[in-house]
């Protein structure tokens, strides 16, 4: 079978090696005589898988001892509510930086819980850039500062993170760029990420949280309470066992690639190939994001006309590329080049873009 060149924004491409290993273990995991989906989540076999996934993430991201890793459900969208419910105390305000649709949604949910404030935004400029760190003015009574580290829809990404100190935790939605580059975990109070872009399949959400932010509060519903999940090693209720198993395999694969630093090198090379095709097109392709805010995970661009975009998307699909339509809210085109997308697929896309430009211009010239 010929594998698709998959540029979907999420659920996204998984490493071929991971899928092959899962296939080999499909009917008999850990010599149990069962598939992972049939294991009890209280069994020793699954406990081994579960704890291996958590430890692997700690190793890869160099997570300090004063942080806990939780494996939760509900997607990153549930964290929009869980975070303020757990750490937005009375008399405090939650500060938000708006850089796209997902940060808007996070703010919307926080407003239902308590006081909020927008301390920086690029909305008026169609989210084409990330606000400068020095332009963020935190409130003295801020409970936390929330950012979205990478914006899948608009193709922008934070290059540097605000320094907030321990008293104002920095909270980051890293759903679309976690494990794509090395970061200093100690700068953050909470990092959360849906797995379905860089970590595995949909159905599991990783939360990396500083332990002092996990406090007992019996007014919070149990499933929304970090303390409950922490005390139960993320096994308070039946977890998505298959998703956690695949998460553990993806993390093993990441180690085999050389870890986060090596993955980051490859990601930079992949992005450069496609951005070079855009920048070298004499304006035929136009990137949405300003150059200093460009994402290494989601390359967003437009063509000279709607007709050209329709033709491009038709032909690129016929050529075996998948998932290049821009988000429905803004249109255009988008190549999501997460960790599992091979460099060769990015090179193939860049080659296609150059050939399409030549053929489209030639066709236009003939009709004049």
Residue linked to tokens 């296609």: 352
Strand partners, 334: 300
For residue 67, the SS3 value is strand
| CA atoms of 222 and 235, how far apart (whole Å) | 12
DSSP characters over 84-119:
HHHH--TT-EEEEEE-SHHHHHHHHHHHTTSEEEEE
Pairing of strands 156-157, 150-151: antiparallel
Side-chain half-sphere of 285: how many Cα atoms within 13 Å? 25
* Torsion angle, alpha carbons of 229, 232, 234, 237, to 10: -90
Q: Among 270, 285, 276, 273, which residue's Cα sits nearest to residue 358?
A: 285
Positions marked active-site: 102, 173, 197
| CA atoms of 288 and 303, how far apart (whole Å) | 11
Instruction: Evaluate whether 327 touches 9 at the Cβ level (below 8 Å).
Output: yes
Residue linked to tokens 């080049």: 337
Burial class (CB in 10 A: 0-12, 13-18, 19+), 61: buried
| CA atoms of 290 and 218, how far apart (whole Å) | 46
| CA atoms of 180 and 187, how far apart (whole Å) | 17
């Amino acid at each position: 079978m010929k594998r698709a060149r998959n540029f979907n924004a999420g659920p996204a491409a998984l490493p071929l090696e991971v899928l092959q290993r899962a296939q080999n273990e499909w009917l008999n995991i850990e010599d149990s005589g069962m598939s992972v989906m049939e294991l009890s989540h209280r069994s020793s076999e699954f406990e081994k898988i579960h704890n291996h996934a958590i430890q692997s993430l700690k190793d890869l991201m160099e997570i300090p001892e004063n942080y806990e890793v939780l494996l939760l459900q509900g997607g990153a969208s549930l964290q929009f509510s869980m975070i303020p419910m757990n750490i937005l105390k009375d008399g405090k305000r939650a500060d938000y930086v708006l850089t796209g649709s997902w940060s808007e949604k996070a703010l919307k949910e926080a407003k239902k819980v308590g006081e909020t404030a927008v301390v920086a935004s690029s909305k008026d400029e169609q989210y084409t850039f990330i606000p400068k760190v020095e332009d963020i003015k935190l409130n003295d009574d801020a409970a936390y500062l929330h950012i979205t580290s990478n914006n899948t829809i608009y193709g922008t990404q934070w290059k540097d993170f605000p320094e907030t100190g321990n008293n104002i935790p920095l909270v980051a939605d890293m759903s679309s760029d976690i494990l794509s580059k090395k970061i200093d975990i100690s700068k953050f109070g909470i990092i959360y990420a849906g797995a379905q872009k860089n970590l595995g399949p949909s159905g599991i959400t990783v939360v990396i949280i500083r332990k002092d932010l996990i406090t007992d509060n019996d007014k919070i519903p149990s499933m929304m309470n970090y303390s409950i999940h922490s005390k139960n090693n993320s096994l308070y209720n039946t977890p998505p066992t298959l998703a956690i198993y695949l998460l553990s395999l993806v993390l093993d694969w990441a180690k085999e690639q050389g870890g986060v630093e090596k993955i980051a090198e490859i990601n930079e090379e992949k992005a450069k190939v496609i951005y070079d095709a855009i920048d070298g097109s004499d304006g035929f392709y136009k990137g949405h994001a300003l150059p200093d805010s460009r994402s290494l995970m989601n390359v967003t661009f437009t063509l000279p006309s709607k007709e050209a975009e329709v033709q491009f998307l038709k032909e690129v699909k016929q050529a075996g590329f998948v998932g290049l339509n821009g988000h429905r809210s803004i249109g255009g085109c988008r190549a999501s080049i997460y960790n599992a997308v091979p460099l060769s697929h990015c090179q193939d896309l860049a080659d296609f873009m150059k050939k399409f430009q030549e053929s489209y211009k030639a066709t236009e010239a003939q009709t004049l």
